[in-house]
Chain A
Amino acid sequence: EPEVTQTPSHQVTQMGQEVILRCVPISNHLYFYWYRQILGQKVEFLVSFYNNEISEKSEIFDDQFSVERPDGSNFTLKIRSTKLEDSAMYFCASRPQLSSGNTIYFGEGSWLTVV
Chain B
Amino acid sequence: GENVEQHPSTLSVQEGDSAVIKCTYSDSASNYFPWYKQELGKRPQLIIDIRSNVGEKKDQRIAVTLNKTAKHFSLHITETQPEDSAVYFCAAPTSSGTYKYIFGTGTRLKVLA
Contact = CB atoms under 8 A, between A and B. Distances in A.
B86 interface: no
Contact residue range for chain B? Answer: 20 to 34
A91 B38 CA distance: 13
6 contacts: A31-B98, A42-B106, A45-B102, A48-B100, A103-B34, A108-B43
A106 B89 CA distance: 14
A104 interface: yes
B42 A108 contact: yes
Interface string B82-111: 000000010101110111111111100000
Given A55-B98, A107-B43, 5 more contacts: A42-B106, A98-B99, A100-B94, A106-B44, A109-B43
Interface residues of A, number: 27
A56 interface: yes
Contacts of A50: 98
B104 A42 contact: yes
B47 to A, nearest CB: 12
Contacts of B100: 33, 45, 48, 56
B45 to A, nearest CB: 8
A4 to B, nearest CB: 9
Contact of B44 (A43, A48, A100): A43
Contact of B98 (A89, A91, A98, A101): A98
Given A42-B104, A42-B105, A43-B89, A99 B44 contact: no
A50 B100 CA distance: 12
A101 B43 contact: no
A45 B101 contact: yes
